[in-house]
Amino acid sequence: MRNLIPVLTVVAVIVAIWYAAAVWLNAQWVLDTAARQDREIGTSELVLETWSQDKPRLPAPHQVVTELWETTVEKNITSKRSLVYHAWVTLSATLAGFAMGTALGVALAVGIVYVRVMDMSVMPWVIASQTIPILAIAPMIIVVLNAMGLSGLLPKAMISMYLSFFPVVVGMVKGLRAPSRMQLDQMRTWNATQGQEFLRLRLPSSMPYLFASLKIAMAASLVGAIVGELPTGAVAGLGARLLAGSYYGQTIQIWSALFMAAIVAAAMVGLIGLVQRLTLKRMGMA
C-alpha cells in the first residue's frame, strides 16, 4: 500500500499527457473545419472540440470510458454490438488454448525431467521454436485449418496453445528440478517409487514456478487469440473489433477494444495470482 500514492501519481500524469496529446493530435482537424465554416475559434473551444470528435486521431480518455460503458453495460450481452460478447469470444479461445498449452507444457516438462533423450533432443528445439515469430504465421495456420474443415474456436486456441506452452515447459522443468540432491536421496532412503517421488516431492516443490509461468502463459495466450481473430474476416472477438475499427477509422472502437483486452488480461492474471496465493498458503509455502 506504500506504493499507492506514487502509482496514482504516475497514472494521473499519464492521463494528463493523454489529454494533452489528444489536443495536439486532433487540433489540425478542428482548425480545418473551423476555417471551412469561416468561424473564429478560441482556445477553450478548440480544446473542448478536440475532446469530443466522432473519429478523432486520439480519443480522449473520457470518450473511451463512455464507449466502454455504453458497449458493456447498456447493450444486451448477446448483441453483436456488445463488447462483453466479443470479449467472451476471445476469452473462450484464450482459455481453451491456455488449458491445452498448460497440459502440453507440463507433459513435455515431465518427459524432459525423466527421459534423458528428450532432455537432450527436445529442449533445444523448444527454445528455438520460440524464436520463430509464430504470431506472424497465425493467419496461415487459421486458413490452413479452415481448409481442413476446422473452424471456430479450435484454430485460435491452437495458436494460443503454441504461445502458452513454452513458459510452462521452461518453468516446470526448473520447478521439477528444484528439489535438492539431499531431498531426492531422502526419498530414496524411504524406498519411494518414482511415482511417489514425483507426487510427494517434485510436484509440490514445482508449484511456485508453475504459477509464475501460468501468469506469463495466460498473457501470451490472450495475445495469440486476438491475433488469431484478425484473418478470419473480422467476424467476432476483440481482434475482429480492432481490425474493423482500423478499416472504418473508428478510433474510439479500437481503443475501447484495447481497454477491454487489458481488463480481461488483468482479470485473468489476477485470478491466477489469487489461486496461487491460496494454494501456496495451504501448502505452507507463502
Which residues contact other proteins (rule: CB under 8 A)?
2-3, 5-11, 14, 25, 57, 116-117, 120-125, 128, 130-137, 139-140, 143-144, 147-148, 215, 219, 222-223, 226-227, 230-231, 238-239, 242-243, 245-246, 249, 251, 254-255, 257-258, 261-262, 265-266, 269
**What are the cell numbers at 213?**
509461468
- Between helices 4-36 and 61-72, what is the axis angle to 10°? 100
Kindly tell me which of 157 and 223 has the beta carbon lying closer to other proteins.
223
* Min dist. Cβ of residue 122 to other proteins (A): 7
Query: How far is it, in rounded angstroms, from Cα 264 to Cα 250?
Result: 21
Closest approach of other proteins to the CB of residue 70, in Å: 20
Nearest CB to other proteins, comparing residues 57 and 75: 57
Give me the least distance between CB of 100 and other proteins, in Å please.
Answer: 19
And the C-alpha cell for 45?
Answer: 473551444
**Cβ nearer to other proteins, comparing 185 with 273:** 273
- Give the residue from 260, 233, 204 showing the smallest Cα distance to 67: 260
Distance CA 21, CA 7 (A): 21
- Minimum distance of other proteins from residue 138's CB (angstroms): 8
Burial degree of 101 (CB within 10 A; 0-12, 13-18, 19+) = buried
Cell triple for 51: 475532446
What is the rounded CA–CA span in Å between residue 141 and residue 224? 12
The nearer residue to other proteins, 140 or 283, going by C-beta atoms, is 140
Q: What is the identity of the amino acid at 132?
A: I
> Shortest gap between Cβ of 173 and other proteins (angstroms)?
16
Measured from the CB atom, the residue of 120 and 286 that comes closer to other proteins is 120
φ/ψ of residue 74, rounded to 5: -90, -10
- Show the cell assigned to 247: 478499416
CA 102 to chain centre: 15
Tell me how far, at minimum, the Cβ of 88 lies from other proteins, in Å: 16
**Closest approach of Cβ 62 to other proteins, in Å?**
18
Ramachandran sector of residue 76 (left: φ over 0; alpha: ψ -120 to 50; beta: rest): beta
Query: Smallest distance, Å, CB 282 to other proteins?
Result: 25
Which residues contact residue 29 at a Cβ distance below 8 angstroms, ignoring those fewer than 6 apart? 53, 56, 57
